[in-house]
Amino acid sequence: MILLGIETSCDETSAAVVKDGRHVLSNVIASQIEIHQKYGGVVPEIASRKHVEAIGCIVEEALFEADIKKEQIDGICVTYGPGLVGALLVGLSYGKALSFALKKPLIGVHHIEAHICANYLETEGEEPIKPPYICLVVSGGHTSLVLCQEYGKYKLLGQTKDDACGEAYDKVARALGLPYPGGPIIDKIAKEGDEKAIVFPQALINDGSFDFSFSGLKSAVLNTLNKAKMQGIELNKSDVAASFQKALIDVLEAKTKLACQKYNINRVALAGGVSSNSALRSRISNMCQKNGYTFKVPPTYFCTDNAAMVCACGYIMFEKGHRDGLFLNAVPNCPINID
C-alpha cells in the first residue's frame, strides 16, 4: 500500500511517500528555520505563508523521488493537529484537494501520534518496536509519557504542566545568546561543559506522578544568567548548558523508569524533536540496558518534524478502516487519540 504524507504543523513543509507504513520511498523536508531565526522563534503568520509557497513543489518532489505517480497512491495522510492553526490549514487544505481530485481516501493524523509512529519506520538493521511499550514524547510543543498498549491505542500517563522540553531548550539557548532552534546547539556545547557546575531545580522528580514541569528550571537558568551579569561574572556557556541539560534529563529518565516499573513494561521508545538529543539518547539507552529493557529511538532525521512519520501513523489508521471526509478541520490543541 502506497501512502502520501503531508506535514505542515509548524515550520517544516514536508511530504513523503511510504510503502506499507514502513518503507520510506521519499521524505522531502523544506525547513523555514533560517527565516524564523532572526525573530528568535517561529512567527506563525510567516510560517503559514511559507507553507503556501512550498507545499506544491514539495509534494511533487516527494512523488518524483519515490518514482510514484499520483494515481498510484492508495491514500493521503495529513497532519490535522496539534500545531499552529494557519500552518496546519495549508497542509490540510492541500491534502483535501488532492483527495477530492484523485478520489483517494483522506486520513487525518495527530502530530504527536505521528512522532511516536516514527519508531515503526524501517531503519537499517533494526526491528521496529512492538507494543506494549512506554514512549517518552519530547518535542518543541509537547512533553508526555505515553503507554502504547497496541498499534494506535494509547494511554496518556502524564504530561508537562507548563513548558515543553524543546521550549525550555529554545528559551535557555536564547538567554545564552544562541540562535533558534536552541536544542541542537545546547546538545553540542554541553559536551564540553561540566554538568555538575551548577545545580538547577528538578521539579516533580520524586512526586510519583508522570507529569513534568520545566518552567521553574528555565527560570532558574535565566535568573542565574541575570545574576551573574549584574555581578559582572562571565559564566561558561557550556557549563550552563550541561547543568541545565542534566537537570532536565534526570527528570525524564526517572519518570520513564518509574512508568516501566509501575506498568510492568520492558520496552521503551523515544519520540519528538528533542529525542535527537545525544545525551538523552545515551542516558535512556543506558537506563534500559541496566534494567534489561528493549530501547528504540528513531534516527535523528525521523525525530524532528517530517511527513514519513505521518504516513507510518496513517497506515495503522488506514488498516483499521479509519477514513476522514472533506469536513476534517485543523485543530491547534487536541489530546492524543485514546481508544
Report the interface residues with ligand KG4, using CB under 6 A.
Answer: 10, 139-141, 166, 169-170, 181-184, 187, 272-274, 276-277, 304-305
Q: In whole angstroms, what is the distance from residue 16 CA to residue 4 CA? A: 6
For residues 186 and 260, which CB has a smaller minimum distance to Zn ion in the complex? 186
If the CB atoms of residues 5 and 272 are measured against ligand KG4, the closer one turns out to be: 272
In the complex, what is the shortest distance from the CB of residue 102 to ligand KG4, in angstroms, rounded to a whole number? 28
Closest distance between ligand KG4 and the C-beta of residue 173, in Å?
Answer: 7
Query: Among 139, 202, 243, 276, which residue interacts with Zn ion (rule: CB under 5 A)?
Result: 139
Considering the complex, state which of residue 239 and residue 305 has its C-beta at the smaller distance from ligand KG4: 305
In angstroms, the CA 205 to CA 195 distance is 18
Counting beta carbons within 10 angstroms of the beta carbon of residue 312, is it exposed (0 to 12), middle (13 to 18) or buried (19 or more)?
buried
Cβ of 321: how many Cβ atoms within 10 Å? 6
The site partner of 99 among Zn ion, ligand KG4, none (C-beta below 5 to 8 Å per kind) is: none
What is residue 208's DSSP assignment? S
Asked if 304 contacts 275 with a C-beta cutoff of 8 angstroms, the reply is no
Site for Zn ion in 52-81 (CB under 5 A): none
47 contacts 10 by C-beta, under 8 angstroms:
yes
The stretch near Zn ion (CB under 5 A) out of 40-48, 86-94, 235-243, 304-312 is: 304-312
Which grid cell is 221? Answer: 537558568
Which of Zn ion, ligand KG4, none does 21 bind, CB closer than 5 to 8 A by kind? none
CB 272 within 8 A of CB 250: no
Q: How far apart are CA 82 and CA 88, in angstroms?
A: 8
State the minimum distance, in angstroms, from the CB of residue 115 to Zn ion. 6
Q: Is 305 in the site for Zn ion (CB under 5 A)?
A: yes
Binding mask 250-289 for Zn ion (x = CB under 5 A): ----------------------------------------
Compute the least distance from the CB of residue 166 to ligand KG4, in Å.
3
Q: How far apart, in Å, are the Cα atoms of 48 and each of 85, 88, 228, 234?
A: 9, 8, 39, 40
Peptide bond preceding 132 in cis form (omega within 30 of 0) = yes
Closest to 253 measured CA to CA, from 289, 285, 217? 285
336 binds, among Zn ion, ligand KG4, none (CB under 5 to 8 A by kind): none
Q: Give contact residues for Zn ion (rule: CB under 5 A).
A: 139, 305
